[in-house]
Structure 1
Amino acid sequence: MKTRVIKGAVLALFGALTIAFGQWFGLDLDQVALLGVALGAVIGLVPDRSLTERIIGFAIGFVLAWIGYAIRAAILPDTATGRAVVVFAVIIVAMLIAVVTASRVPLWAMLVGSAAIVGAYEQTYAASPTLFLSDSPTAATTVLLACAMGVLGSVLLGEDVEERRADEHSNHHHSKASA
């Protein structure tokens, strides 16, 4: 229990450091710090596939959603139908990538990546879709830095989580076998 508290405090410290880094480098990380650190921590903590595969999934989902914004800005009307087409396309492409890779690139990680750019950029995009080329790189870099801090902070927690899951899984099977 004490170890989890310490490691959780370290992750919280990484969240606070994200804002500090933003201040030092003139980035507006305040708005995306919790979103990015939390989503990065999910990528780092979920013991499904290797960390590299989870990060690749995150990156693919992030790029797919970013491309979705580009398509919205370039050719689709800014209507519910235009947004629905992009949401459908992003999720279908992510699902197809997961199928083609036999889930080595996990769908959930691609969805987390998509959520990162959407959470960081949707409000800005909605206010001025025509500024996609200038506004989206700023949103992307700030949330990616925050996500990287979450992954980095969670690496300190990850082994403990994976070991605990393995113990729980093994204990669960032993208790079923004895019943």
Structure 2
Amino acid sequence: MLAALAISVGGMLDSDLEHIALLGGAIGGALGLVPHPYSWGRIAAFLVGFVLAWIGFALRAAVIPDSANGRAVVAFLVVALCAAACAFSMNRLPLWAALLGVAAIIGAYEEIFTNAPAQFLNESPQAATTVLLAAGLGYLATSVIAEMVSDTPDERGSHRLGRDSGPASPAATPETPGEDLDRLNGLMAGEKK
């Protein structure tokens, strides 16, 4: 449903979103579906991989020749830097999410880049923003909307308050402000209490 919305919005904005709506929506959906202890870590890792792959395109456009060997060197550098960033984060940034970020920009921009490497500065921002919009819609659909739809209204209320059932009471409210953040982090990670 959100992929159809992205395609129609892309048509109104005269962008190429309709061409990569399913790619971005699927990648964002996978990002939202796979649980991880740190919900912000999935998004941050995705953005790290996305930015590193984008920098890889910049290197290919400016410094490294666009040959099979040049593409291989850039691919190695991007994946190695993603792995290093995720290892340095001590599993706060999952490697799978960083690789999804790499896949998003490559899927959206590789063909355009191959046709006109010299147009990197003009064409890459549009490809990046359109795939990020589609991925954001996919993430929203799977992590937030699916959580809201999957529970009954009574269960949603009890998840928010961190209790199994029964009426709200002052004792059911969190004792410390950090508990609210932990519950929100768990909800965004797809955990059910």
Unaligned runs of 5+ in 1: 1-12, 167-179
Please list, as runs of the form range in 1=range in 2, the aligned pairs for 1:28-107 lying within 5 A after superposition: 28-107=16-95
| Cα deviation code 1:110-149 (max 9, x no counterpart) | 0000000000000000011111110101110111110011
TM-score normalized by structure 1? 0.81
State the SS of the aligned residue for 1:27: coil
Distance 1:49 1:158, change over 3 A: farther
Q: 1:145 aligns with which of 133, 141, 149?
A: 133
What is the total number of aligned residue pairs between the two structures? 153
Q: Which amino acid letter does the alignment assign opposite residue 116 of structure 1?
A: A
How far apart in 2 are the matches of 1:39 and 1:57? 13
Unaligned runs of 5+ in 2: 151-188
% identity of equivalent residues: 46
How far apart in 2 are the matches of 1:49 and 1:128? 41
| Residue in structure 2 matched with residue 7 of structure 1 by the alignment | none
| Residue in structure 1 matched with residue 105 of structure 2 by the alignment | 117
Distance 1:143 1:39, change over 3 A: same
Q: Which amino acid letter does the alignment assign opposite residue 119 of structure 1?
A: G
Deviation at 1:158, TM superposition (A): 5.0
Q: 1:157 aligns with which of 139, 142, 146?
A: 146
Deviation at 1:163, TM superposition (A): 5.2
| Cα deviation code 1:34-82 (max 9, x no counterpart) | 0000000111110123321101110010000000000010011110110
Q: Which amino acid letter does the alignment assign opposite residue 41 of structure 1?
A: G
Q: In angstroms, what is the RMSD of aligned CA positions?
A: 1.7
Please list, as runs of the form range in 1=range in 2, the aligned pairs for 1:127-142 lying within 5 A after superposition: 127-142=115-130
How far apart in 2 are the matches of 1:56 and 1:33? 21
Distance 1:42 1:107, change over 3 A: same
How far apart in 2 are the matches of 1:158 and 1:81? 45
Asked if the contact 2:35–2:191 (Cα under 8 Å) also holds between the matched residues in 1, the reply is no
